[in-house]
Amino acid sequence: SAISALQAARAAYQPKLPTVFANGAAVNIIEGDATTAAADLDQIQALFPETYGAPKVNFEANMNKTTTAINVAVILSGGQAPGGHNVIAGIFDGIISLNADSKLYGFLGGPGGAVDNKYMEIDSAIMDAYRNTGGFDIIGSGRTKLEETAQFDQVITNCKALNIGALVIIGGDDSNTNGCVLAEYCKAQNSGILVIGAPKTIDGDLKNEDIEASFGFDTACKVYSELIGNISRDACSARKYWHFIKVMGRSASHIALECGLQTRANVTLVSEEVEAKAMTLGGIVADIADKAVKRAAKGEHFGIVVIPEGVIEFIPQMKVLIAELNDLLAHDASLSDSLPIAADVDQLQSHGLSAESASVYLSMPANIRQQLVMDRDPHGNVQVSRIETEKLIASMVEMYMEENHADIHFSEQHHFFGYEGRCAAPSNFDADYCYSLGYTAAALIGAGKTACLASVKNLKSPASEWVAGGIPLTSMMNVERRHGADKPVIKKALVELDGAPFKELVANRDEWALHSNYVFPGPIQYFGPTEVCDQPTITLTLEQR
Ligand code: FBP
């Protein structure tokens, strides 16, 4: 089918790799010290007797190593993130470099495909059509959870039928948690099937000392920042609108923070700060209005507010309300019809809400009341992308201005940037990083490793200096309370309020609020000078400084 001129040029791009892979993915393994867990060591050890405590590994080039052919299957799990196709390309090229007879299969439509035995073989013609492209459409993705023993047995049966010796799960914290449980089971059953993970999510919250970034974050933030920059230019041209821009990132505010730093928006909300300071919705609104008043005094009746999509869950009163709604809806789904139309606090209480949550719920506009009771995702998360927080905050600020500063012109526009960033053609950074992650997964498989997340470090340096290795998944786990039960999970990385990126915002935000010091990042560039095309995010640069 027809492809654009850029697609054609991009198809020829050869992603960069760490030097250790100069002769392919057949490498020697260097083992580090044994690992433990992020917390709750005894519980994690008891739950993962087969895989707990394995060492982190690095690689050393080996030109003479020979490896037998291996069949590998790949699964894309959860939300799209730019670069997923390059992870698959890295695995493909990596296992072929191990042995030219190796084969790559893709399970279709996410983890569910591995259970239902829906798959395809990815040959070189198919692979070539997807190199350096955005999206997950090569095999599709899904949010089915792999967690039941019956599902694991089915996956093992399906893999054995295709003689698959290793499975690569490209996913976020939840999917890799489940990947680790599967790896443990495969080992306990002596199935001979290895399970390796690759750190995916635009949200940027799968990160720790060994995983410097999840892939897709770089590209998504660059796309949103381009758009925010364009809107800022429009705002200071038209000089009449305040723009309220919600950006994706279900829980952590890494995306909002990065976009705020890239564009120097007037206000950047950070959910983690909202929670730490126990801010109320009213307080957030009054604070934005205060900035609008100050800017209006300078004749600037415009501004840019960046809102993380998850903020609603971090406002303490809303958090309690959402937790109560989650509980009620889990027991009686029909409440999603009756709650939004309840007439008063008494009625809401009779449905099971506490008095306080009932009055918070009632104070919300009708559309938000409706959105708060929509279906949860399979992991039990509220679908924050579908709650129009940007509208809610914009209209509350507008109301506040009318009530308190009727003499000041204030007019709002609102936007949501989410899906438009998730499937963009990967930036050079993500194209290279993803390809390297895939190659790393192949090297780990070649070395017989399981229950590891592919890790590529030293990302602030040129790709040739990146350091590839494998990190035991159990070393990232702790025990958390989920749906009323204690579960081992990979610890989610939220924005750290004492971390360098947030401190950079704090150091500048008063000035950015008052003045219109916008920076216009412009569209992602794929060809041209290094400083234009290959810059990592500000978050990564500050964190690795
Ligand atoms: P993952 O954590 O699976 O990578 O998904 C991230 C995300 O893009 C969030 O930013 C967003 O809240 C959510 O997916 C949207 O989910 P859906 O695609 O199901 O609407």
Express each pLDDT in 93-146 by its tens digit.
Answer: 999 999 999 999 999 999 999 999 999 999 999 999 999 999 999 999 999 989
pLDDT band for position 367 (cuts 50, 70, 90): confident
Nearest CA to ligand 1 atom 14: 79
Task: Say how many Å lie between the CA of residue 250 and the centre of ligand 1.
Answer: 7
In the sheet with 27-34, reading across from the earlier edge strand, the strands are: 27-34, 55-61, 467-472, 452-457, 194-199, 164-171, 71-76, 103-107, 119-121
**Terminal-residue alpha carbon distance, the chain:** 45
Residue 64: is its pLDDT beyond 80? no
Q: What is the distance, to the nearest Å, from the Cα of residue 406 to the centroid of all Cα atoms in its chain?
A: 41
Of residues 382 and 450, which shows the higher confidence score? 450
CA dihedral defined by 248, 253, 255, 259, rounded to 10 degrees?
110
Nearest CA to ligand 1 atom 12: 250
Residue 255 Cα: closest atom of ligand 1:
10
pLDDT band for position 425 (cuts 50, 70, 90): very high
451 Cβ below 6 A of ligand 1:
no
Average pLDDT of 501-521?
97
- Percent of the chain beyond pLDDT 90? 87
Residue 485: is its pLDDT beyond 90? no
Q: Cβ–Cβ contacts within 10 Å for residue 238, how many? A: 12
Residue 216 Cα: closest atom of ligand 1:
4
53: left (phi over 0), alpha (psi -120 to 50) or beta: left
And the tokens for 236?
Answer: 């200071």
Residue 419 Cα: closest atom of ligand 1:
8
248 Cβ below 6 A of ligand 1:
yes
pLDDT of residue 327: 87
Residue 537: is its pLDDT beyond 70? yes
Nearest CA to ligand 1 atom 11: 250
Beta strands in 193-296 (DSSP E): 194-199, 242-247, 267-268
pLDDT band for position 384 (cuts 50, 70, 90): confident
Q: Tell me, what DSSP letter sits at residue 277?
A: T
And the tokens for 361?
Answer: 């719920």
52 marked as binding residue: no
Residue tagged 């009746």 (tokens): 301
The verdict on ipTM greater than 0.85 is: yes
Single-letter residue type at 91: I
H-state helical runs in 65-110 = 84-98
Q: Strand pairing of 103-107 and 71-76?
A: parallel
Residue 78 Cα: closest atom of ligand 1:
3
Task: Say how many Å lie between the CA of residue 404 and the centre of ligand 1.
Answer: 38
421 marked as binding residue: yes
Question: What is the Cβ-side half-sphere exposure of residue 116, based on CA atoms within 13 angstroms?
Answer: 13
Average pLDDT of 369-380?
80
Q: Tens of pLDDT along 324-358?
A: 998 888 888 889 999 999 989 999 999 999 999 99
CA distance 438 to 85: 9
Average pLDDT of 413-427?
96
pLDDT of residue 364: 86
Active site residues: 203
74 Cβ below 6 A of ligand 1:
no
The model's pTM: 0.94
246 Cβ below 6 A of ligand 1:
no
299 marked as binding residue: no
Angstrom CA distances, 291 to 264, 268, 305, 337, stand at 15, 12, 11, 39
pLDDT of residue 379: 64
Residue 470: is its pLDDT beyond 90? yes
202 Cβ below 6 A of ligand 1:
yes
pLDDT of residue 380: 67
Q: Cβ–Cβ contacts within 10 Å for residue 289, how many? A: 22
Pocket test for ligand 1, best of 141, 145, 177, 201 (most atoms within 8 A of CB): 201
421 Cβ below 6 A of ligand 1:
no
Task: Say how many Å lie between the CA of residue 416 and the centre of ligand 1.
Answer: 14
Q: Tens of pLDDT along 211-255?
A: 999 999 999 999 999 999 999 999 999 999 999 999 999 899 999
Average pLDDT of 3-19?
95
pLDDT of residue 126: 97
pLDDT of residue 374: 87
Q: Tens of pLDDT along 253-270?
A: 999 999 999 999 999 999
Residue 159: is its pLDDT beyond 80? yes
Single-letter residue type at 117: N
79 Cβ below 6 A of ligand 1:
yes
